Amino acid sequence: MQPLVHFKNVNKYYGKALAVNNLDLQIERGRFVTLLGPSGCGKSTSLRMLGGFEDPSSGSILLDGKDVTHLPPHRRNVNIVFQDYALFPHLTVGRNIAFGLELKGMPSEKIHARVMELLALVELQDYADRMPDQLSGGQRQRVALMRALAPDPDVLLLDEPLSALDAKLRHQMQIELKSIQEKTGKTFLFVTHDQEEALTMSDVIVVMNNGRVEQMGDPHTLYARPVNRFVATFIGESNFLDAELRSVDGNIATLDWCGHMIHATLTGPAAKVGSHVTVALRPEAIYAVSREPDRRIALPGRITNRLFKGNFTALTVGLNEGQSLVAQLDPVALAHLEGDDVWIGWREEDAVVLAD
């Protein structure tokens, strides 16, 4: 199937600074795709190039098979939602949403029907005659979304649109955004530096760093199977174990970590036996019990720090060799511990050997 959006070997320079590095990215129709990464990684620049607000230095951008690389924004069937909403303060909610349809010359009765359809989608049908300054932040965000969706774009571009909202409203809007995308069946390209936003809403996450794609996949895959240390660090928290590869059986690696034989999963080509590799291990994947368990991985240790986080407690467990790991235990597991001397371990499928 032909992708709806295709960045083909796109580069973007600002002077001598390379902002986007050989971006080759395909986006399927009807998906919620998030560009995730730190400030300056190239995610907003990539979005703006698709919208026609920036020109690539080289490469091409295709929209539904058509080369739009050098077309102005109004000749691409895309629309954008900015951080500050950019609603017209002198127009009512209804007129804000109708604005793009009026520019297209749509008949007034069809404009009214479309406006009311979109307002009903976000349960604001009684707000058509209100002014933007009479709305809450969340309501203004919904109106901005509906205004962008009104002309029926192929792709809706969202450049960190939730950054101005407080934490509670931001979480609510994350759920609502995904619901709107699913109801409309539209393709959303969302930009954020917030991993929680990306994990909550996305069908596909594209992790970017220094202008290039580090990894692309569904949220579960990126969280459970990061390909490198950057992805493992940027999405969630991880323990990193520097170990020596001793043997490989299928996709399970046996490693020497500080004199302990441990096991982890390979997600890419195996390194050479005898080489040093890094293993990523999520804190919530580590178990801690008071008595030595009959499990393949069981290491003795002592709790050196407890940090209460509400729905879990983070335990720092020191091992005999001077190493330490952080484990996250829920209240039930924590209640079964009988002191600070513990045994810890993990399932081998939950530990991942990183590519670098």
Give the per-residue pLDDT at 24.
97
Strands 287-289 and 299-308: unpaired
pLDDT for residue 85 is more than 90? no
pLDDT digits (tens, 9 = 90+) for 108-127: 999 999 999 999 999 999 99
pLDDT for residue 84 is more than 80? no
Apex 148 CA angle, 147 and 153, nearest 5 = 130
| Calpha distance 119→125 (Å, rounded) | 5
pLDDT greater at residue 106 or residue 320? 106
Question: CA separation (Å) from 2 to 29, 63, 174, 318?
Answer: 9, 10, 29, 53
- In contact, 125 and 184? CB cutoff 8 Å: no
Name the CA dihedral angle for 258, 263, 266, 269, rounded to a multiple of 10 degrees.
Answer: 60
Give the per-residue pLDDT at 321.
75
Block residue for tokens 């002198």? 90
Give the per-residue pLDDT at 243.
94
| Calpha distance 8→28 (Å, rounded) | 15
Nearest to 9 by CA among 66, 56, 55: 56
Confidence tier at 137 by pLDDT (50, 70, 90): confident
- In contact, 267 and 277? CB cutoff 8 Å: no
- As a whole number, mean pLDDT of residues 163-176 equals 85
- As a whole number, mean pLDDT of residues 302-314 equals 94
Nearest to 299 by CA among 274, 325, 273: 325
* Residues sharing a CB contact under 8 Å with residue 213, sequence separation 6 or more, in sequence order: 23, 24, 25, 206, 207
pLDDT digits (tens, 9 = 90+) for 11-66: 999 999 999 999 999 999 999 999 999 999 999 999 999 999 999 999 999 999 99
